Amino acid sequence: MIADPRKPERSPTDIVLRANGLCKRYGKRWVVDGVSLEVRRGDVFGFLGPNGAGKSTTMRMLTGLVRPDAGTVELLGHDLHRRPTAALARVGAIVEAPALYPHLSADRNLEVFSLLSGGASPERRAEVLRLVGLEGRGHDRVKSYSHGMKQRLAIAQALLPLPELILLDEPTNGLDPGGMVEVRQLLRHLASQEGITLFLSSHLLSEVEQVCNRVAVIDQGHVLVQGEVRELLREQTFLQITAEPVELARQILETLDYVRQVIVQEGTLRIDAPLDSAAAINAALVHGGCRVSALVPGRQSLEEFYLGLLEKRS
Amino acid sequence: MTHLLRVEILKLSRRPRTYLGYAGILLLLVPMLLGLLYGQPDRHLRHEIGPEFHVVGTFVNALFMARRMMEPCLWFFLPLFIAMVAGDLVAGEAAEGTLRALLVRPVRRVPVLLAKFTVAVLHATALTYFLGLSALGLGALFFGWGDLILIEHGIYVLGSGEALARLAAAYTAAIPGMVVVAALALFLSVLVDNSNGAIIATMMLLFVSFTLGGLPYFEAIQPYLFTTHMGVWSSLFEDPIPWSEIARSMAWLAAYCIAFVGAAALVFSRKDILS
């Protein structure tokens, strides 16, 4: 394989983003309180949380826009506070809505932003425009762009410094369904084909489930959980049972030691129990006089997992 | 730093607001031109100097017009046009959100601010010279050239060569005062997230300082007001030119400039970007 001569060498670290004990207080209120995150090279990391959970403030601390009251941020092995230029040299970021100069053309916008990262050739600017599907529109003023086009142009400017890590705040916010699909496809392409680590802040659970391999959930300034999406959801398994009569089945299930919770939902029973206890549960129900017509292992969606997590907390 | 400067020049040169000042100056020249053409200025000036002086010819020429434009423009209009640009440099970007896009790049904040201040200085300088050159140009077109007769602390008649040199020196000496206005507007621009707030606050502080400078009860503080020293350019039309006084005023203006830019840098380097 021939190395791309334009591409600077990757930083040797495998942890591309590390936040340690981040805290931020506005007035008397701690908006972020002890947030620690770890994003590994190659991750598409979802940062989830309801509105007002502290996502944006954390995002701003991760990009140096807001100074934490406590804690540290390391980007690509460099301390953001002590060595901000080194830390941000190979990082692209979009914080909140795409912010561009409306009176400049797309290409001029890219020129402005590239100059801040050491410059980019007109070929590179054309390349990133092509990558985000804006080829041929580089000379149009940004004020004539739709929201989706602005979002794609903002991603293009984040791609200029050949980044190893891109941080995106609500990347599909305000887009129509078509625009959302386009941006998601672009993100998948960036992660799988360009090898860029992505950190996405979002409150769209389906989006995160579709795109991300790891997540962290934040609420009221605290990280509630962090890990591989697959692992987190694997832990959240259940058995769905269709049995008659339902009330008798519920009573029998509640007597079993290994059944932690029984919920009756629209005539079916959903139970929290080890999956390998399915045979024993079936036997107990049949022995107790129930007719079991279905016993299906299930897995929570990210949405159910997330809502359950927030419910537990509240 | 050169990259940052290029970025700021590129942005400023493409912003319509930058050119409002130039358009404003051209608009201001029109009433002055009409006044000099149809307002019988010679009659008023002859009346002003008294009957013991006999003036042959006319007072009004290009040099006279360039001199006459200085008062209203350097005390009010240019500070306003300069505040409109400098006050927008940080607050305008904060309001548009581009400040956060700028600061997530590998740049240090103080050089970013210094680049912004540099373009504000360039803008103030260009605008001041544009005023002088456009007044001279239009004046030459309508009234021609000649000696400059000044009725300031006495009556002086300057030959056209010397008058031109003094005008050039006076316009140049006006720049530091304009730069202080730009520095003040930039400082206020760092404090707020709305450029209108920064512009209005700059003009208000300017008026307050002018007012304090004009009232006899505040004589004790008048030497320390920056507006007291902004008018240093007028000393260049005195005879002999009070160089030590000019140097002292320049030092005061430099000190104000350093104070405003230093304070702006301090605040900007620690500011949480929340817009």
Q: List, for residues B1-41, the tens digit of each pLDDT value.
A: 788 999 999 999 988 889 999 999 999 999 988 988 887 77
Highest mean predicted confidence (pLDDT) among A248-252, B10-14, B258-262:
B258-262
ipTM of this complex prediction, to 2 decimal places: 0.79
Which 8-state DSSP code applies to residue B107? -
- Calculate the average pLDDT of chain B: 90
Residues 6+ apart with CB under 8 A from B242: B235
Residue burial B213-223, b: 16+ Cβ < 10 Å; e: rest: beeeeeeeeee
Residue B269 with chain A: CB contacts under 8 Å: none
Residue A4, pLDDT score: 46
Q: B182, B173 in Cβ contact below 8 A?
A: no
Residue length of chain A: 314
Q: List, for residues A46-97, the tens digit of each pLDDT value.
A: 998 888 889 999 999 999 999 999 999 999 999 999 999 999 988 988 888 8
pTM of the model: 0.83
- A192 confidence band (pLDDT: 50, 70, 90): confident
Q: List, for residues B87-143, the tens digit of each pLDDT value.
A: 999 999 999 889 998 999 998 999 999 999 999 999 999 999 999 999 999 999 998
Contact A116 B102 (CB under 8 A): yes
Class of the domain covering A235-313: alpha beta
The H or E element containing residue A293 is strand A291-299
**Pair of tokens at residue A299:** 């897995």
Fold adopted by A15-229: Rossmann fold (3.40.50)
Q: Is the model's pLDDT at B181 over the cut of 60?
A: yes
CA distance linking residue A71 with residue A58, whole number of Å: 11
- Return the domain boundaries, chain A: 15-229, 235-313
CA distance linking residue B210 with residue B197, whole number of Å: 20
Which 8-state DSSP code applies to residue B61? S
Residue A66 with chain B: CB contacts under 8 Å: 272-274
Q: A93, A63 in Cβ contact below 8 A?
A: yes
Q: B42, B59 in Cβ contact below 8 A?
A: yes
Inter-axis angle of helices A106-115 and A122-131, nearest 10: 120
**Pair of tokens at residue B154:** 């006495």
Q: What is the CA radius of gyration of chain B?
A: 21
The H or E element containing residue A58 is helix A55-62
Q: Is the model's pLDDT at A150 over the cut of 70?
A: yes
Chain B closest-CA separation from residue A26 CA (Å): 11
Highest mean predicted confidence (pLDDT) among B45-54, B85-94, B231-240:
B85-94
Minimal Cβ distance to B10: which of A93, A112, A117: A112
Residue A101 with chain B: CB contacts under 8 Å: 11, 14, 96, 98
Contact A116 B97 (CB under 8 A): no
